[in-house]
Copies of this chain bind each other. A is one copy, B any other.
Amino acid sequence: MQDPTPQGEKKRQRRKDARPSEIIAAAMQLWAERGFAATRLEDVAAGAHIAKGTIYRYFPSKEALFEAALQARIVATMDRARDMAQGFDGPTSQMLSGFFETIRTELVDGGSSVFLRVLLSEGHRFPDLVARYERVVLSRGMSTVRAILAAGVARGDLRPEAADCDPRLVMAPAMMLSLWGTVFTTEGLPDMRSALAQHVAILMGGLGRR
């Protein structure tokens, strides 16, 4: 009598609140397996154990679902990565390792490499999304790299020219290796963590003080 939202209401409500992320999770799994275009919304629905129409209560279109997934999964991580870079003041090699580990965790463990893959191959159809991804993900990543390099120069870990290094060169192996593992064989190759450690070593050698 006193409670206008009794126990009964809550179960459905709890479900409703969880739906969007359940749908996103199902979608990302399938996109990772089959690609964006090749995944039917009906499959996503089945993966989330709901009916096709239910998706449309939460996302107005397939593209919007992609956008929401992107938003939901990445922003937080990139912020975290940047905070880490700015807050932490250890040796440059350690900052780079931390940065790469963050990227690896997000892209590989968190499954965010789908976004990169989809944007790379179907990006022409979603110019707005590409623009947002650049703004939110790529440029933040590049800023982080620049900050790390600048800090390294300031600290004396790196040579002054390191500040002018194209940040994509620093990020590329982390990105590429994440993609690599989703399609190509990695047999006979170092695991991603070791490879990134090698990358740090090369960078420190190539950019560091002689």
Cα of A154 to Cα of B182 in the assembled complex, Å:
35
Cα of A108 to Cα of B38 in the assembled complex, Å:
26
Please tell me if the beta carbons of B168 and A172 are within 8 angstroms of each other in the complex.
Answer: no
Contact with B along A61-96 (1 / 0, CB 8 A): 000000000000000000000000000000000000
* Interface of chain A residues 103 through 142 with chain B (CB within 8 A): 117-125, 130, 133-134, 138
Cα of A118 to Cα of B122 in the assembled complex, Å:
9
Please tell me if the beta carbons of A169 and B195 are within 8 angstroms of each other in the complex.
Answer: yes
Please tell me if the beta carbons of B189 and A168 are within 8 angstroms of each other in the complex.
Answer: yes
Chain B residue numbers with a CB within 8 Å of A205 are 205-208
Please tell me if the beta carbons of A195 and B179 are within 8 angstroms of each other in the complex.
Answer: no
Interface of A is mostly: helix
Chain B residue numbers with a CB within 8 Å of A173 are 168-169, 172-173, 176
Copies of the protein in its oligomer = 4
A202 at the interface (CB under 8 A from B): yes
Please tell me if the beta carbons of A37 and B34 are within 8 angstroms of each other in the complex.
Answer: no
Considering only CB atoms, which chain B residue lies closest to A176 in the complex? B172
* Interface of chain A residues 18 through 70 with chain B (CB within 8 A): 33-38
Cα of A172 to Cα of B146 in the assembled complex, Å:
19
Please tell me if the beta carbons of B125 and A34 are within 8 angstroms of each other in the complex.
Answer: yes
Q: Provided the pairs A130-B183, A138-B184, A210-B210 are in contact, do residues A169 and B120 lie with their beta carbons within 8 angstroms? A: no
Chain B residue numbers with a CB within 8 Å of A138 are 184
* Interface of chain A residues 167 through 187 with chain B (CB within 8 A): 168-169, 171-173, 175-177, 179-180, 182-185
Cα of A198 to Cα of B163 in the assembled complex, Å:
12
Please tell me if the beta carbons of B202 and A124 are within 8 angstroms of each other in the complex.
Answer: no
Cα of A171 to Cα of B38 in the assembled complex, Å:
29
Residues of A whose CB lies within 8 Å of any CB of B are 33-38, 117-125, 130, 133-134, 138, 165-166, 168-169, 171-173, 175-177, 179-180, 182-185, 189-190, 194-195, 198-199, 201-208, 210
